Amino acid sequence: MAAIELDSSERERYGRQLLCLGEEGQSRLKDAHIVIAGAGGLGSPIAIYLAVAGVGRLTLLDRDTVERTNLNRQILHGDADLGRPKVESGVEALRALNPSIRIEGIRVTITDENAASLIGDADGVVDAMDNYPTRFVLNRVAHERGIPLFHGAIRGFHGQATTCVPGRGPCLACLFPNVPPKEVFPVVGVTPGVIGCIQATEVIKYLTGEGDLLTGRLLLWDGLACSAEEIAVEPRTGCPVCS
Amino acid sequence: MNVTIRLFAQFRERFGPVHELALPEGERLAEVLHELAGQTPDGVAALFAPNGRLLDYVIVMQGAARIEHDHAATLELRDGDTIAVFPPVAGG
């Protein structure tokens, strides 16, 4: 018996995925709270697909306003949103897609000091950031809370994704001990589309218990070759976060 | 011995996706990567700092284990090794 009942409207809305997830899987999505850190290129497809999938509570974190240079990839936002906080236009777009879930946006710079309270009692954190220092903050807090970090990053036609589940595999700091140099990264919008969809898929799998997660595996996407390869990754002895 | 070097992201565009190398026994990881990088204009600077160390953020994996850069200079490759080399991509 599912923990949370679905109403008739939800059974209709999610009818096609009930065929995959069943009523129990769908009710697990409805019962979940996911924090999406970043409402940009990755955060857009992640938030859209988690919203329409029926994740019951989404928290969108971002500090920026919408700029024209964002619009080749950040599909939560459009021309009419230029100058608006991304969390404002993002939440508006998501509510239009699925008014039956709870969506909140917080305009904030994620720091060491505020990350734990921003993540709160969430069931998972999706890394849709554009820099490693903030990713490492999210990684540490997610590990402390015992919740997964769904990592993704992109550059040009290339992307990477992995899912860090405490106690079940390496964390982000096991894999990436040092920060790459800052740059204005090149990107074609489809790349965060691909990687963001992989991250959203991981979230849905984690919450419903379906399939095999990208735990202990780094997926590397090459859009130019249209190939996805993976590297097995072990927890690192002496990792300052998880060992 | 035979060793496979796989490259990813912008390193793939610079050096190619995969190199199957037949090497004499005892070859060391950093030397092999340095020689491979040197076959491409500016390739050495893409992987190595002026002091000859691998750049801090370059990830080198031997199988599923990440190689500490201090260890790369002395690590002897083994027959059948697969080495992955990539920069973490950062954008979102």
Global ipTM:
0.90
Q: Which CATH number fits domain A8-232: 3.40.50.720, 3.50.50.100, 3.40.50.620, 1.25.10.10?
A: 3.40.50.720
Would you mind telling me the total number of residues written for chain A in this entry?
243
Say if B92 falls within a structural domain.
no
Judging contacts by C-beta atoms under 8 Å, the chain B residues touching residue A234 are 64-66
Buried b (16+ CB within 10 A) or exposed e, B21-60: bebeeebebbebbbebbeeeeebbebbbeeeeebeeebbb
Indicate yes or no: CB of B57 within 8 angstroms of CB of A181.
yes
From the list A183, A175, A184, the residue with the least C-alpha distance to A235 is A175
Question: What is the CATH number for B14?
Answer: 3.10.20.30
pTM of the entire predicted model: 0.96
- The answer to whether residue B66 sits within a structural domain is yes
CA angle (B50, B29, A221) in 5-degree steps = 90
Question: Domain containing B30: what range?
Answer: 2-86
Per-residue DSSP letter, A68: G
Tell how strand A33-37 and strand A124-127 pair up: parallel
User: pLDDT digits over B32-51, tens only?
Assistant: 999 999 999 999 999 999 99
Contact A178 B10 (CB under 8 A): no
Chain A interface includes B28 (CB < 8 A): no
In a domain, B35, yes or no: yes
Q: Does A42 touch chain B (CB under 8 A)?
A: yes
B63 and A232 in contact by Cβ < 8 A? yes
Q: How many domains does chain B have?
A: 1
Using only C-alpha atoms, chain A has a radius of gyration, in whole angstroms, of 17
* pLDDT value, residue A181: 86
Domain boundaries, chain A: 8-232
Q: How far apart are CA B13 and CA A190, in angstroms?
A: 18
**Residue A61 confidence (pLDDT):** 98
Q: pLDDT averaged over chain A?
A: 96
Interface check for B4 against chain A (CB to CB < 8 A): the answer is no
